[in-house]
Amino acid sequence: MRSFHNYSLYYGLVIKLPYKYVPILKLYTGTTRSYYLGNGDIVTKQKDFNAFQLRRAMYGCELVIFKGVQNLLNKRKLPTNKYSGAFSIYYESCDFYNSSLYFYDGENTTNIPLKRFTSDSFLKKYKNEVSWGFKLSFYIM
């Protein structure tokens, strides 16, 4: 897909106490990547593609404050713990100061730290990328 988009790869810990109305807490870490796939003539010539990623470490937490409604398809009233969605509040911080630029063209791979080609004042000014907000999740089981 020749486009520009972000994605995150992360792992973490989910904490849920055994009480019915206690919220769920997720703590996680990983990487966030801003990805672009362009034609093969941007950097290296006569390739099928040139892929670029801005990679940065990411840390976050999420508080699930409403687990959603129980599965309405359970007409026999069987005991179930399956929910169809959730509402949560999240906070994420990406470490732009130690980020790197990754390149791949199908054969060649390069990973260059941003510190190598940007000024220290720029990296200090934009040291962290912070996002927070609300998540509304739906899932099918």
The pLDDT assigned to 50 comes to 86
Q: What is the pLDDT of residues 71-121, one digit of tens each?
A: 455 555 555 556 567 889 999 999 999 999 999 888 888 999 999 989 999
| Beta pairing, strands 128-138 & 85-104 | antiparallel
Is 57:8 a contact under the CB 8 Å cutoff?
no
Residue 19's pLDDT is 80
Count: domains in the chain: 1
With a pLDDT cut of 70, the percent of the chain lying above it is 84
Give the pLDDT confidence of 38-65 residue by residue, as tens digits: 877 777 777 888 889 999 999 999 998 8
| The amino acid at 113 | P
What does the H/E/C string look like for the chain? CCCEEEEEEEEEEEECCCCCCCCEEEEEEEEEEEEEEEEECCCCCCEEEEEEEEEEEEEEEEEEEECCCECCCCCCCCCCCCECEEEEEEEEEEEEEEEEEEEECCCCEEEEEHHHCCCHHHHHHCCEEEEEEEEEEECCC
> CA quadruple 42, 53, 88, 21: dihedral positive or negative?
positive
Q: Write out the residue range of the structural domain in which residue 85 sits.
A: 4-138
Residue 136 has pLDDT above 80, yes or no: yes
pLDDT at 18: 83
Task: Choose between 111 and 141: higher pLDDT.
Answer: 111
Q: What is the band of 68 on the pLDDT scale with cuts at 50, 70, 90?
A: low
Q: Is the pLDDT of residue 1 over 60?
A: no
Question: Which pLDDT tens digit goes with each residue over 21-41?
Answer: 778 899 999 999 998 888 777
